């Protein structure tokens, strides 16, 4: 009799160690044969902490690069980034990475396949491609063109959904679901199950604030303590992708 394969997919941790610890605790209870880190594990208050939490796992861990990893590497390579939240997060992350982690992150692919499923961050072709709940069908088909696997799992837009051959794992550390929590995905024999893990938000807020990371209050307010409306976020993503009018 075939054994079920369980893969936990964790995307967009964004340096939120309390959220990641909560999800890993749930994985300890449910069990997983492997963990796929689907990009943007750094780019937040506790980049080194979340990397080391994942590196210490007993399960095999597959690492995929997201735009936050590419931006941190760009800083380490001497490239100047803007004085905006992504630029500040990249500099904060870069400062936390030693030579070993820099080399490891530089080796991460932008896509990987495990048990017949393709994993990526934005899309199989680009780490920063925006795919949302409202993305037109033809755009989604084009983003997945040429993929031989029957399912693609990604992240980047911080909202969970499944649409045919594509599933978005959501965000562990900075979700835009209209409610707080840590959002991830569990695959059982290739079938995606959207998961949600609650954790102590007040304690997490205190821990994240204590890091002194830039823009931490924005993270806490819009994602965890007073979450913005999910539909509004989707509309903003579609606008920035050039597919919708000003929301």
pLDDT-derived band at 247, boundaries 50, 70, 90 = confident
Inter-CA distances, 151 with 160, 168, 192, Å: 15, 11, 9
| Whether the Cβ atoms of residue 205 and residue 199 lie closer than 8 Å to each other | no
Give percent helix, percent strand, percent coil of the chain, each to the nearest 5: 35, 20, 45
pLDDT in tens, 179-211: 999 999 999 999 999 999 999 999 999 999 999
Gyration radius of the chain's alpha carbons: 17
pLDDT in tens, 57-87: 999 999 999 999 999 999 999 999 999 999 9
pTM (2 d.p.):
0.97
Domains and CATH numbers, the chain: 6-240 (3.60.21.10)
Average pLDDT, rounded, for the chain: 97
């Amino acid at each position: 009799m075939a054994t079920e394969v369980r893969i936990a997919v964790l995307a967009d941790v964004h340096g939120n160690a309390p959220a990641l610890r909560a999800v890993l605790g749930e994985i300890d209870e449910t069990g997983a044969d492997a963990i796929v880190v689907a990009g943007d594990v750094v780019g937040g208050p506790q980049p080194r902490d979340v990397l080391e939490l994942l590196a210490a796992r007993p399960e095999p861990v597959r690492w995929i690069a997201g735009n936050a990893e590419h931006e941190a590497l760009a800083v380490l390579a001497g490239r100047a980034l803007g004085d905006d939240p992504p630029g500040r997060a990249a500099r904060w992350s870069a400062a936390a990475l030693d030579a070993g982690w820099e080399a490891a992150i530089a080796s991460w692919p932008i896509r990987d396949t495990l048990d017949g499923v393709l994993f990526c961050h934005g899309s199989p072709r680009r780490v920063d491609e925006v795919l949302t709940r409202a993305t037109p069908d033809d755009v989604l088909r084009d983003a997945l063109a040429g993929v031989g696997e029957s399912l693609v799992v990604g992240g980047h837009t911080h909202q969970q959904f499944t649409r045919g051959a594509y599933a978005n794992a959501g965000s562990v550390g900075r979700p835009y679901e209209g409610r707080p929590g840590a959002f991830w995905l569990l695959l059982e024999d290739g079938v995606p199950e959207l998961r949600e893990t609650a954790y102590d938000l007040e304690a997490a807020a205190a821990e994240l604030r204590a890091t002194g990371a830039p823009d931490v209050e924005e993270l806490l307010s819009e994602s965890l303590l007073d979450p913005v409306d999910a539909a509004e976020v989707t509309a903003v993503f579609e606008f920035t992708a050039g597919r919708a009018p000003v929301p």
